[in-house]
Structure 1
Amino acid sequence: MTKTSTASTTTSTAAWAGMLPVEDTRLAVTDTGGPGIPVVYLNGQFANQGYWRRILADLGPDFRHITFDERARGKSGRSADYSFEAAVRDVDAVLAARGVEKAVVVGWSYGAVVAAHWTARNPERALGTVLVDGAFPYDWLDDAMEARIRKLFKRLNLVMPLLRPTGLAPRMSAAEQAESNIELGKLSRQSELGPVLDGITVQTRYVVASGTSFGSKGDEQEQIRTGLDAVTERNPNIKVSAKVDSNHGALLKKDFGAISAAIREVAHAGE
């Protein structure tokens, strides 16, 4: 698909930022507008849309950038539903509200799993997908890990009230955050995520970090990343664009250029 035909999937529109009513909540959405290729960015599990700013600046006006805060993250409102399926529905809600039929989908961490599911379910609407250090099929959740997750978030609950006014922590209880993380572990199992990735039919690129992530120990995160090897062997549409030196939490800041390059690659893959 050419750049011209890709951009024509949406009309040029003015920049917009505001609160979008979705189900029982309101999502903080930012749309840079313009005639560029639409790209929707899906955040890390408890992150906000500000994490993408370096990538947006690097890509510039050739793209129409759509970012939003997930439920109870950033400036978005609370909800009774913080499930993974709600996160997938919110992608549709944001794109529909902004009049975007087709887009490049970019997800980091938790957002990468959301992006993979959305892409597999909407092959005619995904112009390409970039998965940033997430969506690795690997059986990392067991009873001991589940207990560790609950203990971690219970301990973090002591400092969450101090961080929430700054926007650096979600407006979710410790139990809600733990359940979200446990659900992610179940969805990341090889038997669950593997078939989703196998079903992707559009050009998809991974940008893979190195070292640890929040809550991981030793080489746990590197072991989880090995789950990608079988995926790229089975599906020729999926490739690793870059393996960077930054760890999971720092790559959007330190290696934004590698992510930008992957976005350009999938956006122009059909030219």
Structure 2
Amino acid sequence: MLPVEDTALAVTDTGGTGIPVVYLNGSYASQKHWKQVIADLGPGYRHISYDERARGKSKRSADYSFEATVRDLDAVLKARGVERPLLVGWSYGALLGVHWGDRNPDRVAGVVGVDGPFPMGWTDAAGHERIRKLFRRARFVLPLIAPLGLAARMSADQHAEINIEGHMLHAALVPILEGLTVPVRYVVASGDHTGDAGGEMDQARTTIEPLLVRNPNLTVSARVTSNHEKILAKDSPAVAGAVRELAAALGREVG
């Protein structure tokens, strides 16, 4: 366990001299979701994964903000002695990856975004209330699915506030994605996920198309048939392929 501020994070590090790959989880997910991707990549890489606050085996905290996740990533990298990681993020983790890469362009080798991040989000009061209602309806289920890595050990309202903040950050992504100087490889899924309807996720995915033209550092590595929630389990070879592609492009620059 890695002590960070008022909490402690469960960190897994395979060690070795291979390229350091750091895995960043979805909003309420745990590091167990990366198991198949790590197996597909094999022992030639140094795999580092961790559970965010109140997820997986990590401890609870008084702060579940996005900035807390940024500080946690800083703490994990410092504790493991990693200077230029290759960040692989799924959904909310992909949002964290590009934000961290934007803030630390000289400290990151590149980012693989697994079905994210896309510059679209609900910023209006109606959308936020929809999110709150969704989690309040699910409040009795959340403790049951938390051990499966599908929810956090926090209240329904706390789940909702993390989701709302994530929507706001996604909606403000265009200037960050336009200005990124680090290489980003997208693996794009198909279909909606829980809480979305009417093709909202597909609409969000189209928002990167003009950015791919404006910023050559952004590239789609693969488009896969699995949906947002199943992509790591069903299309792990595509995610592993994006990591290999980015590592090969970077060559000796990765350390």
TM tier, shorter chain? over 0.9
Residues 182 and 120 of structure 1, relative CA distance in 2, 3 Å threshold: same
Matched, 1:136 2:115: no
Q: Is the 8 A contact 1:43 1:109 kept in 2?
A: yes
Give RMSD over aligned pairs: 1.2
Q: Is the 8 A contact 1:137 1:188 kept in 2?
A: yes
Paired residue for 1:232, among 212, 226, 232? 212
- Cα distance in 2 for residues equivalent to 1:143 and 1:188: 16
Matched, 1:266 2:251: no
- Cα distance in 1 for residues equivalent to 2:249 and 2:77: 22
Paired residue for 1:93, among 56, 75, 78? 75
Paired residue for 2:41, among 59, 63, 76? 59
SS in 2 for 1:61: coil
Matched, 1:80 2:58: no
Matching residue of 1:204: 184
Please, what TM-score do these two structures have when normalized by structure 1?
A: 0.90
SS in 1 for 2:152: coil
- Cα distance in 2 for residues equivalent to 1:116 and 1:47: 18
Question: What's the CA shift for 1:140?
Answer: 3.3
Q: Is the 8 A contact 2:99 2:176 kept in 1?
A: yes
Matching residue of 2:156: 174
Deviations 1:159-189 (A, max 9, x none): 2233345554311111111000000111111
SS in 1 for 2:3: strand
Identity of aligned residues (%): 60
Deviations 1:220-251 (A, max 9, x none): 11011111112111110111111100000111
Q: Is the 8 A contact 1:203 1:269 kept in 2?
A: no
Question: What's the CA shift for 1:138?
Answer: 1.6
- Cα distance in 2 for residues equivalent to 1:60 and 1:209: 23
Matched, 1:160 2:142: yes
Paired residue for 1:146, among 125, 128, 133? 128
SS in 2 for 1:230: helix
- Unaligned runs of at least 5 residues, structure 2: none
Matched, 1:34 2:45: no
- Cα distance in 2 for residues equivalent to 1:161 and 1:203: 38
Q: How many residues align?
A: 251
- Unaligned runs of at least 5 residues, structure 1: 1-18
Question: What's the CA shift for 1:48?
Answer: 0.4
- Cα distance in 1 for residues equivalent to 2:146 and 2:240: 30
Question: What's the CA shift for 1:93?
Answer: 0.4
SS in 2 for 1:26: strand
Matching residue of 1:3: none
